Structure 1
């Protein structure tokens, strides 16, 4: 099934850009690193209307387009040149499942959020000739990349909008993600990552999907019968035909690659562990945008970081769906996001 999942038909259109060999922070090297990139709109002559959108855990450029980009939206292709870059490991860009022997599969090297951002920087500067970004905006792991961009390249990022994510992953969230990892790796068919086919790990992938159902949505999401409002007849129907249907076709090693990055996200690596000093580097006009009922990245965690960012604003999104409200499942979500992003883009920076 994975052979038909990570395709142009399912997630396109996108173009593959070879950025050459990428030396990784953990010591490995990705040779002929390929970034899958979807673009919307046209880069203007001044090259000052570019917006970067990195992807989240399990997400691809297609879901970012569907949930955040379009005519009349804040991310309007008639006004901006929007570049959606699939993170390393998500299945479209270089990932465990599409890297040939001997470096693929379970042997795929450890990748950090910083590696993704350095790869994206190389792509944007060398392939697109960009020196400034009008905005970097991403949700969840996309927010982690947004923070890394703003700290690592403060002179290039004019505005930043991390949605439902933190600059330094918390111990609590590390443990959440670890349960997702163990749901997959505890399946005997996982075979230490040397499974013959991803579908053999279906029990682990199902447990993984159920854990996402527990933590990705809020208690209010279930209390207010939101699965039924979304068209599912029962909890079992929702788990099978939404959660398992979404995660089930994915490659386990791809998911584990992204989960490790998520767990180890930390911009304070740049300042010997001093988070205040790291966030103090940010020059971008920044709107920190947590989701009110998020159980992975609670608003309080995001607020604590926002207070360390010079000139930033705290712009929470009221959405009872929780973290997976990022998909745009609630009718009120998109309007709130667009309102904040439109105001941010209108702010001189």
Structure 2
């Protein structure tokens, strides 16, 4: 409780909405489940200009606003009502760090991607009164939620843009997630999840940051010494003052909560384990948008799923920044994403 990183000063403005008790797929319950929502633009009279944007691992509404939203952009708040819902466990919505004892910290229940999407559906339909979404778009774990939306509520999603993410997590990515989690939990200061603050788990968070750098950026990123273009004099300067600085203030239990559901993301659960059947339910006009050098979600993994989606387009983004091109450090990658999203929003749909 009380981590100042998860505050309006750092991530606001956002509003907290209590959607009531949320019963979870794994059997737990989040009581008085709160969603942190940031809205840009206004709903029109027909309520058909709503774009939903879920967040990714470790991210909040703030980075999405900074990288993707603005006048003249695809996500233009003068044309659309862009609703960013912070995923459960990210520190702003209901999370281990902001749930009081006894249900918080390591006692916070297991959450799946489907729980996030059901919570978002409750908010969008009951609070906003929106029956159809102009588009659902998200990167990484936001892409997992985008796929879940398109499969779980096909009649509600007109367009879907999963960016740098897959509908079913791969064994390779599961192993990567396990390594990230073990980096944190192996720190003696983790104390089985009942530490006093992130500083108690400093070594674990530092290991986590280094592993994330290895896979999050690309071999090409390091060969080109791209970190220099971002203002860092050496690899160690970049590791300490960017990667570790980014993760060191975050709550370890929040990261573990998000990683657990990331590792188990799988829309096939909605079709008895049959991925082809699940993706075949999608009626949204879908653009699958991978990053060319992504090691979390390689283009080939995304392409294999794209082939199972009716009337979908495969729109890879060329970048040497790997998965973390999502952070917006490569203006050319951001411009490509913007162009793809503009094309998708211009596409006529039923």
Query: Normalization by structure 1: what TM-score?
Result: 0.99
Deviations 1:55-109 (CA, angstroms, capped at 9, x unpaired): 0000000000001101111000000000000000000000001001111000000
Helix, strand or coil for the counterpart of 1:5? coil
Contact 1:205 1:252 in 2 (8 A): yes
Distance between the aligned counterparts of 2:328 and 2:288, measured in 1? Answer: 18
Helix, strand or coil for the counterpart of 2:65? helix
Deviations 1:195-218 (CA, angstroms, capped at 9, x unpaired): 122210000000000001100000
Contact 1:25 1:111 in 2 (8 A): yes
Contact 1:136 1:146 in 2 (8 A): yes
Aligned residue in 2 for 1:204:
204
Aligned residue in 2 for 1:191:
191
1:282 has 2:297 as partner: no
Residue 331 of structure 1 and its aligned partner are, at CA, apart by: 1.9
Contact 1:2 1:251 in 2 (8 A): no
Aligned residue in 1 for 2:299:
299
Aligned residue in 2 for 1:347:
347
1:13 has 2:13 as partner: yes
Distance between the aligned counterparts of 1:331 and 1:57, measured in 2? Answer: 21
Distance between the aligned counterparts of 1:265 and 1:39, measured in 2? Answer: 26
1:76 has 2:67 as partner: no
Helix, strand or coil for the counterpart of 1:20? coil
Distance between the aligned counterparts of 1:82 and 1:308, measured in 2? Answer: 28
Residue 4 of structure 1 and its aligned partner are, at CA, apart by: 1.3
CA RMSD of aligned residues (A): 0.8
Distance between the aligned counterparts of 2:65 and 2:244, measured in 1? Answer: 22
Aligned residue in 2 for 1:162:
162
Aligned residue in 1 for 2:136:
136
Helix, strand or coil for the counterpart of 1:4? coil
Distance between the aligned counterparts of 2:63 and 2:287, measured in 1? Answer: 22
Distance between the aligned counterparts of 1:192 and 1:343, measured in 2? Answer: 48
Distance between the aligned counterparts of 2:334 and 2:100, measured in 1? Answer: 40
Aligned residue in 1 for 2:327:
327
Aligned residue in 2 for 1:119:
119
Unaligned runs of 5+ in 1: none
Helix, strand or coil for the counterpart of 2:82? strand
Contact 1:2 1:198 in 2 (8 A): no
Aligned residue in 2 for 1:312:
312
Structure 1 moving runs of 4+ over 3 Å:
none
